[in-house]
Structure 1
Amino acid sequence: MNLKQLEAFYWLSQFGKHRQTAEYLGLTQPAVSARITALEKDLGKTLIDREADGFVLTDQGLEVAEFAVQFLNLREAMLGRLQDRHKRGVSLGLVGMAALTWGPRLREALLAELPEMTIDIYLGSDLQLRRLVEAGTLDAAFTASGDRARGADFGVEYQVGWVSRGDVIEGLPQPMSPDDLRALPLVHYPKTSPLFNPVADYVDDMAERTAPRHYGNSLSAICEMVRLGYGASALPLAALENEIASGKVVEIAATEGLAPLHVACTHANRARRKQVGQVLELAREAARAWCRDHGRYSSFEDL
Structure 2
Amino acid sequence: MIGNLVSLKQLEALVWVADLGSFRRAAQQLNTTQPNVSARIAGLERRLNIVLMHRDAGSVRLTDKGAEILEVARRVLHEAEILTEVAARADLVEGRLRLGVTELVAATWLHQYLRNLKEAYPSLTVELTVDLSRQLDTSLGERALDLTIQNAPFTSNVRGNVVIGDYPYVWAAARGLARALAGVNCVSELTGHSLLTHARHTQSYNELADHARSLGIQTSCFVPSSSLTSCMQMAADGLGVALLPRIMVERGAVADKLMALENLWLPSALHFAARYRHQSARHIAKAAIIAAQTAQAFSHQGQASRL
Aligned to 1:224: 233
Percent of residue pairs identical:
18
- Aligned counterparts, 1:1-303, within 5 A: 75=22, 77-78=25-26, 80-81=28-29, 88-147=95-154, 150-169=159-178, 171-172=180-181, 174-201=183-210, 209=218, 212-242=221-251, 248-265=257-274, 267-295=275-303
1:74, 1:136 within 8 Å by CA — same for their partners in 2?
no
**Per-residue deviation, residues 111-141 of structure 1 (Å, max 9, x unmatched):** 1121111111211111221232243210011
Q: Is the 8 A contact 2:158 2:277 kept in 1?
A: no
Task: State whether residues 99 and 126 of structure 2, in contact with CA within 8 Å, keep that contact through their aligned partners in structure 1.
Answer: yes
Q: Determine if contact 1:162/1:235 at 8 Å carries over to the other structure.
A: yes
The range that moved more, 269-278 or 138-147, is 269-278
Measure the CA separation in 2 of the matches of 1:130 and 1:118: 21
Relative distance call for 1:126 and 1:187 in structure 2 (3 A) is same
Question: Which letter maps to 1:159?
Answer: P
Cα distance per residue 1:47-92 (max 9 Å; x no partner): xxxxxxxxxxxxxxxxxxxxxxxxxx85454564577578621111
Q: Do 1:174 and 1:252's aligned partners in 2 also have CA atoms closer than 8 Å?
A: no
Residues 124/177 of structure 1: CA separation in 2 closer, same or farther (3 Å cut): same
Q: How many residues align?
A: 224
Counterpart contact for 2:140–2:276, Cα < 8 Å: no
Q: Give unpaired runs (5+ residues) of structure 2.
A: 1-19, 38-92
Q: 1:291 is matched by which residue type in structure 2? A: S
- Per the alignment, do residues 269 and 78 of structure 1 end up closer, same or farther by CA in structure 2, a change over 3 Å counting? farther
Q: Tell me the CA shift for residue 271 of structure 1.
A: 3.1
Alpha-carbon RMSD: 3.4
User: Any stretches of 5+ residues in structure 1 without a counterpart?
Assistant: 1-72, 298-303
Instruction: Report if the CA contact (8 A) 1:227-1:249 is conserved.
Output: yes
TM-score normalised over the length of structure 2: 0.62
